[in-house]
Chains A and B, each alone.
Chain A
Amino acid sequence: MSLTHYLVLAAILFTIGAVGVLVRRNAIVVFMCVELMLNAVNLTLVTFARSTGTIDGQIMALFVMVVAASEVVVGLAIIMSIYRTRRSASVDDASLLKY
């Protein structure tokens, strides 16, 4: 398998994630799709680290994982607080702010 295969797989995963964010309605699922996008980026970074022969990409993948973990902490806290009030995690229900 050439490195291009990994890049194409990462691009497909990233697209699935991006489409998921746009079409799914549950805040948790939307958030999972964002995580999928971040992991697609990790795959891209590691592949490029291999193809360019530098270590930067692997280091960055580690940083991305750490940041993604802290994002989960903050994100789930926010989604939990709104869920406990509304008993729903749908992004369509939260619609007090418009126009």
Chain B
Amino acid sequence: MIDTPELSLAALAPLLFVLGAACVGVLVESFVPRENRHPVQVGVALAGTLGGLVTTLALAGERTVTAEGALAVDGAAVFLQATIAGLGALAVLLFAERSLDPARSAFVASAAVPAGTARDRELATSEQVQTEVYPLATFAIGGMMLFVSANDLLVMFVALEVLSLPLYLICGMARRRRLLSQEAAVKYFLLGAFASAFFLYGLALVYGATGSIRFSEIRAASTAEGTGTLLVLGLGLLVVGLMFKASVAPFHAWTPDVYQGAPTPVTAFMAACTKVAAFGAILRLLYVAFGTSEWTWRPLVYGIAIVSMVVGAVLALTQTDLKRMLAYSSIAHAGFLLTGVIGLGGDGGGSGLAATMFYLLAYGLTTLGAFAVLTLVREGDGEATHLSRWAGLARRSPLTAAVMALFMLALAGIPLTSGFTGKFAVFRAAIDAGAWPLVVVAVLASAVAAFFYLRVMVLMYFSDPAPDGPTVGVPGLPTTIVLAVTATATLVLGIVPGAVLDLADQAAIFVG
């Protein structure tokens, strides 16, 4: 007689909901006729992500370790899962936009047809869409939600792959500029596989050093044995693998290329959700598994944070493409987020965890909104992402320019926007932890970063529009919802952040 493993289905409900919806999506692909597939797939993906969001909210206050210790459903996991599900639902809405592109979708009609062939040109104007993007995105969202609640290294590795593999594929499915999109997919895939091999080798070394893959046992073993070489080496490799996913410099080489080449809704999805998931995993790994050997990783993270902020802020100055600029901005923000990671004591005290979680939510919403605005400004068949094309946009479309300006101000961290509240919270946490030199660098990097965000605003408001400038598309309902939600959230989290900050504070608990 074998005992059934202990498994709390209630605590797993959000994951089951999202991954279940992804499986239903695969079945829809096989059984629903092609002409009805798009609306059905959008419905299934939205039902999955929103269902996941509602079930996570119902789990608020849960503190359990379930599935024989493999999953930790605690405050931090629930908060981050809700963030990922919510941002994921918004991203699915962006995917579903059908009124901007002349061919009614940002995704390719058939990814198997080689770009540039006669058949490809024929399909370019067809309304057919590769609807597999919806189940793939739902699988990625499920993987991300699993990633932030993984309580052992094996589950963390499997979740890393479940979130990465679909992303590699949907990066290569742009309808316009297909060569760029496919190139982005190849680069992301090869570098991503390389990074996960490092993560895996780190996992093997930590397992060898401690004899376990469970975080709590790694924690106990690392206290008992002090810091062995094997453990430090393993920790370093694990951190490299995770930092790659979070697009932190110096592991950022893929970020600008992939953000530029991928279809813009997918870029928005990656920039918002992958960042949340990767930082959730970094926080859990460093605080639950390696909380007692804090001094082995603290200098490492400290250094990486500085490199990331400086590289992101300085290289963004030289960019002429908006998607690339936002990619470097995401690298700089990853550095700011790491200052929050530094701001949490190894015993789980300090306000770093709550601050980082709030920052992730605020940054995710703002960056998703900024990429949503990018999908509106178009010329010819594609999007006008070159910076010079945005000159004088305020005269062509005051509302679009105003919304974009709001997002740029929030990313720059100007008061009364969510970006300021988030930055203030992580910087204060880092100062409380005694890392004031890091905060000085962070403030200087923010000042440099403010320049390129404000440059976009100056260009939109104080330059003359080119006579053959881009057109501003009228968004359909999905993009309108995304813009309304993200813009409102950016303002609300800036003006009255109290309630959400309190929520993050209460949720800032790791069990394990």
Binding site for B on A (CB under 8 A): 7, 14, 17-18, 21, 27, 30-31, 34, 37-38, 40-41, 44-45, 47-48, 51-54, 56-57, 59-60, 63-64, 67, 70-71, 74-75, 77-79, 81-82, 84-86, 91, 94-99
A67→B194 contact, CB < 8 A = no
| CB nearest neighbor in A for B259 | A97
Given contacts A82-B183, A85-B182, A97-B180, contact A41 B189 (CB under 8 A): no
Q: In the complex, what distance in Å separates the CA atom of A60 from the CA atom of B155?
A: 10
Given contacts A56-B213, A91-B186, contact A37 B165 (CB under 8 A): no
A74→B165 contact, CB < 8 A = yes
Q: In the complex, what distance in Å separates the CA atom of A14 from the CA atom of B201?
A: 8
For chain B, give the interface size range: 35 or more
B208→A85 contact, CB < 8 A = no
A91→B208 contact, CB < 8 A = no
A48→B207 contact, CB < 8 A = yes
Query: Contacts of A86 on B, CB cut-off 8 Å?
Result: 179
Q: In the complex, what distance in Å separates the CA atom of A48 from the CA atom of B116?
A: 51
12 A–B contacts from the bound complex (CB under 8 Å): A44-B201, A48-B204, A60-B154, A60-B207, A67-B157, A67-B158, A81-B112, A81-B185, A84-B114, A85-B178, A85-B179, A97-B187
State whether the Cβ of B301 lies closer than 8 Å to any Cβ in chain A.
no
- Known contacts A30-B190, A71-B165, then 17 further A-B pairs from the complex at CB < 8 Å, ordered by chain A residue: A18-B194, A40-B201, A47-B208, A52-B207, A52-B208, A54-B212, A57-B207, A60-B213, A63-B158, A78-B169, A78-B182, A79-B186, A82-B182, A82-B185, A85-B116, A96-B183, A97-B261
Of residues 166 through 197 on chain B, the ones whose CB sits less than 8 Å from some CB of chain A are 168-169, 172, 178-180, 182-187, 189-190, 193-194, 197
B203→A60 contact, CB < 8 A = yes
Q: In the complex, what distance in Å separates the CA atom of A73 from the CA atom of B130?
A: 18
> Closest CB-CB distance, A87 to chain B, in whole Å?
10
State whether the Cβ of B257 lies closer than 8 Å to any Cβ in chain A.
yes
| CB nearest neighbor in A for B116 | A85
B208→A96 contact, CB < 8 A = no
B212→A56 contact, CB < 8 A = yes
A94→B186 contact, CB < 8 A = yes
State whether the Cβ of B404 lies closer than 8 Å to any Cβ in chain A.
no
> Closest CB-CB distance, A40 to chain B, in whole Å?
7
State whether the Cβ of B102 lies closer than 8 Å to any Cβ in chain A.
no
Query: Contacts of A31 on B, CB cut-off 8 Å?
Result: 190, 193
| CB nearest neighbor in B for A21 | B194
> Closest CB-CB distance, A5 to chain B, in whole Å?
14
State whether the Cβ of B161 lies closer than 8 Å to any Cβ in chain A.
yes
B211→A44 contact, CB < 8 A = no
Query: Contacts of B13 on A, CB cut-off 8 Å?
Result: none
> Closest CB-CB distance, B253 to chain A, in whole Å?
11
B200→A41 contact, CB < 8 A = yes
Q: In the complex, what distance in Å separates the CA atom of A49 from the CA atom of B233?
A: 18
B197→A38 contact, CB < 8 A = yes
Query: Contacts of B189 on A, CB cut-off 8 Å?
Result: 74-75, 78-79
Q: In the complex, what distance in Å separates the CA atom of A18 from the CA atom of B205?
A: 17
Partner of A41, one of B111, B154, B201: B201
B172→A85 contact, CB < 8 A = no
The 5 A-B residue pairs with the shortest CB-CB distance in the complex, in nearest-first order: A48-B208, A37-B197, A52-B211, A97-B257, A44-B204
State whether the Cβ of B491 lies closer than 8 Å to any Cβ in chain A.
no
A78→B168 contact, CB < 8 A = yes
Q: In the complex, what distance in Å separates the CA atom of A19 from the CA atom of B169?
A: 26
> Closest CB-CB distance, A71 to chain B, in whole Å?
6
Partner of B165, one of A40, A52, A70: A70
Partner of A63, one of B112, B157, B165, B197: B157
B193→A71 contact, CB < 8 A = yes
Q: In the complex, what distance in Å separates the CA atom of A71 from the CA atom of B185?
A: 13
> Closest CB-CB distance, A50 to chain B, in whole Å?
10
Query: Contacts of B157 on A, CB cut-off 8 Å?
Result: 60, 63-64, 67
